[in-house]
Structure 1
Amino acid sequence: MRVGICDDDSKWYQKAKGIIEAYGKKVDIKIDVLYFSQGENLEVYEGAPLEAIFMDVDLGEESGIALAGKINKKWKSCQIIYLTNYLSYATETYHTAHTFFVLKEQFQDRIGEVFGKILHTIEQKSENLVFSAIGGKEVVLAPEDILYFERSGRITRIVTVWGNYEIWDKLGSVMEKLSKMDFVRCHNSYIVYMPAVRELGKGCFILKNGTKIMISRSHTKAVKTAFMRWAMTQML
């Protein structure tokens, strides 16, 4: 993941970079942080795509809000997170598309919320899922209609709020279609939709409908990391 910090205060940049990198290590996400000391540097940037820009509202002689408006038009998928020392700027920022507004003094305490929203926004851009059911019928499902996938023998069963469907696809192929924020592989035989989970128990997920889905030892660490990421998005 690649993000940028646009701020004319180099000391704050170093502090913010440290906070972001520490968060990345905590949740096992590699985050590359680029620095732009002024708007002009950001406007002429031609490197790899940036998932997000942490934008200072006041860039000295420049307006971070005006610059964000340009970024909205130039890189439509790049999210803007406003960082400022002044709450009074909050209403002005709503003239631009942005993901979060946070005071610099609160940045470290709210880093989980901020990245939870960034990651969730990225993952939620996926469209409806299309599967070829056994028998030749095409099944179109919204992610929120799915409870879990279960592999049994050579067949994968999709358990949804509308009923069950059977497909030939292996779970590895299924995971390639799914949002990594909302779905997690918890067992060689199961993929679970996180919003359908009521709680993470000892060795299993307990779904809101009472169903228990086993978590294998080999998937335990990845499941805990994925569950923490998803839980952070629910704090917003």
Structure 2
Amino acid sequence: MRIAIVEDDDKAANQLKKCIQHYATKHQLTIDILVFNDGVQITSAYPDNLDIIYFDVQMPVMDGMTAAKKIRQHDPQVLIVFLTNYVQYAIDGYEVQAADFLLKPVTEFSFSAHFDKLRARIGNHDRFVTVKHGDEIDKIILSDLYYIESAGHYLNYHTKDKVYKTIGSLKNASKDLADAHFFRCNYGYLVNLALVTSVSSNTVHVGPFDLQISRSRKKDFMAALANYLGTAEL
């Protein structure tokens, strides 16, 4: 696992690095840690094969949110976590699909629970579902699946490249994908929470798609999204 820390405060960077190393030792993980002093450093020489980036939100030269937006343009898979003293930045994190937010100062206790969630998400990167139509079977990687749409007795799987149509029910799809962080925003749509970019009023923006959130499901949907992003306690 390869992790980057982007933090202008050496003391804070070293504390986070210590938490990561202690977790890795306890769970027998091999982890490579890279440290950058500001957003310019990591965006100008972006490392290969990063799994997680920890961004301090407030930094001189280039802040963490600006750097995260630049990185997200060409790396949709890396998990982004923001380090901040201010909980209001959690809302801005929707735009870059932030995986979590850690309030400073980071402690080993809070970090352990946080990193357990990240490891589960990394494990889901290669998960897939199979969709059968006619005599063909297609394999759909979950990280490419924006949402599933109910259309009568059929389901439409909307991905980055195409739409796959198959016989099925959204109820069964919801059960199958519950542990992969898919949640219904209304009667007809099952949304990949990992690909939500923002929510405005009664609309959830999932990649290039704008989907309606029903009034009856909005409270539960927003709770599921907040829980997924790790902001329920904020």
Q: TM-score, normalising length from structure 2? A: 0.52
One-letter amino acid of the counterpart of residue 64, structure 1: G
Structure 1 segments (4+ residues) deviating >6 Å: 138-142
**SS at 2:45 equivalent:** coil
The C-alpha deviation readout for 1:177-204, integer Å capped at 9, x for no partner, is xxxxxxxxxxxxxxxxxx8xxxxxxxxx
Measure how far apart 1:129 and its partner are: 7.0
One-letter amino acid of the counterpart of residue 17, structure 1: K
Mapped pair 1:124 → 2:124: yes
Measure how far apart 1:6 and its partner are: 0.3
What is the match of residue 99 of structure 2? Answer: 99
Q: 1:63 to 1:46 in 2, by over 3 A?
A: closer
Q: Does the 8 Å contact 2:2/2:32 carry over to 1? A: yes
Unaligned runs of 5+ in 2: 141-178, 180-227
Give 1:177-192 correspondences, 5 Å limit. none
**SS at 2:101 equivalent:** strand
Q: 1:141 to 1:97 in 2, by over 3 A?
A: closer
Give 1:66-145 correspondences, 5 Å limit. 66-125=66-125, 126-128=127-129
Measure how far apart 1:14 and its partner are: 1.1
Mapped pair 1:3 → 2:27: no
Q: 1:120 to 1:82 in 2, by over 3 A?
A: same
Higher radius of gyration, 1 or 2? 1
What is the match of residue 179 of structure 1? Answer: none
Q: Does the 8 Å contact 2:128/2:139 carry over to 1? A: no
Q: Considering only aligned residues, what root-mean-square deviation do their CA atoms show, in Å?
A: 2.9
Distance 2:31 2:119 in 1: 12
Q: Does the 8 Å contact 1:69/1:97 carry over to 2? A: no
Measure how far apart 1:118 and its partner are: 1.6
Measure how far apart 1:121 and its partner are: 1.4
What is the match of residue 31 of structure 2? Answer: 31
Q: TM-score, normalising length from structure 1? A: 0.52
Percent identity of the aligned residues?
28
Q: Does the 8 Å contact 2:38/2:63 carry over to 1? A: no
One-letter amino acid of the counterpart of residue 60, structure 1: P
Distance 2:95 2:129 in 1: 30
Query: How many pairs does the alignment contain?
Result: 139
Measure how far apart 1:68 and its partner are: 0.9
Unaligned runs of 5+ in 1: 131-137, 143-194, 196-233
Distance 1:141 1:47 in 2: 30
